[in-house]
Structure 1
Amino acid sequence: MSIAPPVTLPSSPSPSPSSSETSQVLAHNYHPLPVTLVDGLGSWVTDVEGRRYLDLLSGYSALNFGHRHPSLVAAAHAQIDRLTLTSRAFDHDLLVPFAEALAGLVGPLVAGSPMVLPMNTGAEAVETAIKAARKWGYEVKGVPDGRATIVVADGNFHGRTTTIVSFSTDEDARRHFGPYTPGFVVVPYGDAEALAAAVDETTVAVLIEPIQGEQGVVVPPPSYLPAVRSLCTAADVLLICDEIQSGLGRTGTTLASELWGVRPDLVTLGKALGGGVLPVSAVVGRSDVLGVLTAGTHGSTFGGNPLACAVGLAVVGLLSDGSVQATAAALGTRWGQRLDTLVSDGLLASVRRAGLWAGLDVPDGRMTGRDLCERLLAVGVLAKDTHGSTIRLAPPLTITADELDLATDRLELALR
């Protein structure tokens, strides 16, 4: 694929509202950049006017393999011609093979003998893990019924269901959605001592992101996750790692928890598991924990449907030999050196990075994160702001070195 020609940043970008923001029939639950896309291939997308952009958001990591990856598209097409949905009232021929393949990929990275429960969205996977942890706490650990608590971290993002926003510290996500679900204790992220103090006889689980994505790719201190693992083991508490954004190659490893040599009891997966083709999620973890769920206690009409399993199997196949992860790690190291130079030059205040995932902070007073994303849009790069002066970048793991260099050149142009 050809690299797009150099571009010049307009002196005063003046974006207009997006079509979804001006629509009278579409609820305005997002504030998108003013671009309407019609086509995508690999790392590139095209808008309605024929302009091409490098996609450095990748659907919040849902497009880890880029747009329309041929293996994933082929798997979807082949399955659409056979069978798309049975509901879980009946088995289909890909359900067990998908579960076995995912257990083979992720199982060695979690504690105990692995079991897989397929769902659809990331939030569903988190809700499933919460339900399983509570039921395990009552039936196995012996916590009195109705008293189970789960320790979570501030700055977390696990979804936007009513239960999940109950323990969010993002007021935009939480405000006016009460009454809130009880049973959660919020402690500072990265503070193992505060977490230890919060654990008591009612605690059934600790639910954390190994790296906080929505917060701006916040990487914890090196000792944090190992300390949390030790605390959970000592207190007979489940460690649930939310790897919906960080998992499946994004950090240069299959799971981000591998970066610290930590094996969670349960891991939630989503986004990239569907390859950007359709929503696919799963909980993978200890069979003695997921085994407390029995017929009628949890379910999903579309969870583990044939089309999802076909695409999920293809995703696991792409990750199975580790080459995607290794490439992401190598490209990420190279990219990090360029980003660090932007900090040294004073164009960025700071950079946090893991693999091909980065949070960039704009110096105070220079511009907002939204301003920078609009300037990047003007030079043909898609990115997303978060929390004021921060943007986060998540290039497809299939991006080439030349494409990544071009994107970084354009980032420097937008910053200057």
Structure 2
Amino acid sequence: MLSDQARQVVAATLSAVTDNIRAIADRFYQRLFAAHPELIDGLFNRGNQATGAQQQAIAGAVVAFARAQVESPEHPPERLLTRIGHKHASLGVEPGMYGIVHDNLMAAIADVLGDAVTPQVAAAWDEVYWLLAHALINIERGLYSGHGLTPRTVWRTWEVARRIPETDDVVTFVVRRVDDRLVRRSLPGQYVTALMPMPDGVRQPRQYSLSRADDGRHRQFSVKRIRGEGGPDGEVSTLMCQDLRVGDRVTLSAPYGDVVLDDSGRPVVFASAGIGVTPMAGMLSHLVTAESGLRVMVLHADVDEESFPLRGQVVADIAKLPGATLHVWYERGADSELAVDDVFAGLMDISQVQLPDDALYYLCGPLPFMRDVRGALIERGVAPSDIQYEVFGPDLWQADVED
């Protein structure tokens, strides 16, 4: 918790920092990579750096945390911290990184705000930073310990056992362990980070949801090839979809992720769009493996049926779950050859289906899709705490704080 003096200073300067946070974040990364160019190898997503997504993520996190400290210090933003902690653990972030980030971030604030950063202002924001850093270090320490790992042993080599084309742009990979060490099974909804060597020798991390329950020897994840609209294609997704073959080796992290299925007995509703179906498919697979009796409703939106990734697996798993239903929306028309309960034309509209009472909701897909569905659910009286979401890319940090 911030000291009273620091809280007053942060409250007085929050708007100035917020207004300039993107410039601060840009300057921070310039400084960071100039001083530590080695960090781009294996830790930072240079695709997100190029588009500015990484800068948006850190800017949103710092501002959201600082605002929470000022406006509701008695209620720390636990979901925000947990989500970041899981992301960091999947990347093998070490505690020593926080000192490096601190030095370059504080220098960037001074560069951008100039004389406005008095010693008192610097001390107050220094306090904010270390509150955030220590909270994350403690969370990450627990996550590593829970797997019996350290930041340097979070990685493991797997071999591609199967390669399954799902759509024109999505490939599912089934990998198997290559040693006799036990595999700690993932929780339903979690992801792994793939650490891929690029042609220039730089390793690039990308996170992929596990799309089927583990069996102790195999893991399954699905990759969508990112095709640039007016810009470059995704370098990692293109390499994996084009070049990763059966028999190749791939480095994956232990599974992490805070969006995990609650199977305590309440009905569950999965709402996804496009490749956002992957964590939902993983949760469904876990429910099938557990022979669950939960009431399950699956809502999925896509361009058309041929674009629906993992549709065969999803339909097969739904058929194994008593009372489970599948409702789909296709932008190109209400045509389906799948065993679905409803098919609608256009974008997802949850008013077109009868949602179960007292349900828990899990969302995944593009940010506009999740904002729309989340907003519609809240308007219908669903508590924000009953809505979880997984984000592929920049996060909805403020939604976590407001919850």
TM over 0.5: no
* TM-score normalised to structure 2 length: 0.29
Larger relative contact order (CA 8 Å, sep ≥ 6): 1
